[in-house]
Structure 1
């Protein structure tokens, strides 16, 4: 899924971890847990951009969770 130029995705081998989503843009990456939405890791995103991304993840959390459970089961 793409939102405002950011690519949100899962890695297929991470089904043993709690639901989360990765974000990528211009060589920068971040990972957010989905329940509750919180930053798990980041690379090169500023604090302001990370807060903005967290709001985006929170806004689309249900879609990400549905996609996670559809892909990984459960």
Structure 2
């Protein structure tokens, strides 16, 4: 489960078993979790985050999309 990015209390990561899915990122903070597709960026699953927080997370993903995609590719293509 490599961590690709940390911003404040948020951890952005992927699972080794995600190889066969399109590029995406899991986000967790405390007990809350979400999953976003990276191209195009869109929410796939949310467990516990408020709508306001999901909007904030989506903006963070937009700001770091290139880094997250590079991390995904590095992890799964090596």
SS of residue matched to 2:53: helix
SS of residue matched to 2:52: helix
Which of 24, 33, 40 is 2:44 aligned to?
40
SS of residue matched to 2:59: helix
- Runs (4+) of structure 1 exceeding 3 A deviation are none
Which of 47, 50, 56 is 2:54 aligned to?
50
Residue 62, structure 1, aligned to residue 66, structure 2: yes
User: 1:2-13 residue pairs with structure 2 within 5 A?
Assistant: 2-13=6-17
1:16, 1:5 → 2: CA distance? 28
1:66, 1:73 → 2: CA distance? 10
- Aligned residue pair count: 74
Shift of 1:5: 1.2
Unaligned runs of 5+ residues in structure 1 are none
RMSD over aligned CA atoms reads 1.1
2:32, 2:75 → 1: CA distance? 25
